[in-house]
């Protein structure tokens, strides 16, 4: 049953990631990956909230939804791409902000849960 819940959550999280990323990124002219940062921070907060509140929803919302919503691979790729394009400040900013704000969001979610 848990595997089905993970599947359902991921089936919602992945398209939500794509749509949110496109919506956020379309509002910025910069090469900075605001869309990926947004979905990752939101996912960190939601996972922290779930961890602090109840583990009963973890397969559906934690592993499935947050797993489909967040994306470490895209974050890594976009950071490397920024370095390759000699956008060193954006690359460093993306790495630092993603980690610091992501961990902060998870902590806030945990406190709220």
* Structure confidence by residue, pLDDT tens digits, 32-82: 999 999 999 999 999 999 999 877 899 999 999 999 999 999 999 999 999
pTM: 0.93
The residue range of the domain holding 63 is 2-112
* Structure confidence by residue, pLDDT tens digits, 5-44: 999 999 999 999 999 999 999 999 999 999 999 999 999 9
Structural domain total, the chain: 1
Q: Of 20, 63, 26, 59, nearest to 42 (Cα)?
A: 20
Produce one character per residue of 9-22: b if its CB has 16 or more CB atoms within 10 Å, e if not: bbeebbebbeebbe
Contact 36, 71 (CB under 8 A): yes
- What is the structure's pLDDT at 67? 96
Q: Which residues belong to the annotated binding site?
A: 67, 70
- What is the structure's pLDDT at 55? 78
- What is the structure's pLDDT at 80? 98
Residue showing tokens 């990752």: 40
Q: Which residues belong to the annotated binding site for Na(+)?
A: 67, 70
């Amino acid at each position: 049953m848990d595997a089905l819940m993970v599947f359902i959550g991921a089936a919602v999280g992945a398209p939500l990631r794509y749509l949110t990323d496109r919506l956020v990124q379309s509002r910025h002219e910069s090469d900075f990956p605001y869309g990926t940062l947004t979905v990752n921070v939101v996912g960190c907060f939601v996972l922290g909230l779930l961890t602090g509140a109840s583990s009963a929803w973890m397969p559906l919302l934690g592993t499935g939804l947050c797993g489909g919503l967040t994306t470490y691979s895209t974050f890594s790729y976009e950071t490397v791409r920024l370095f390759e394009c000699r956008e060193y400040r954006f690359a460093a900013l993306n790495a630092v902000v993603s980690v610091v704000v992501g961990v902060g969001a998870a902590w806030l979610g945990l406190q709220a849960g």
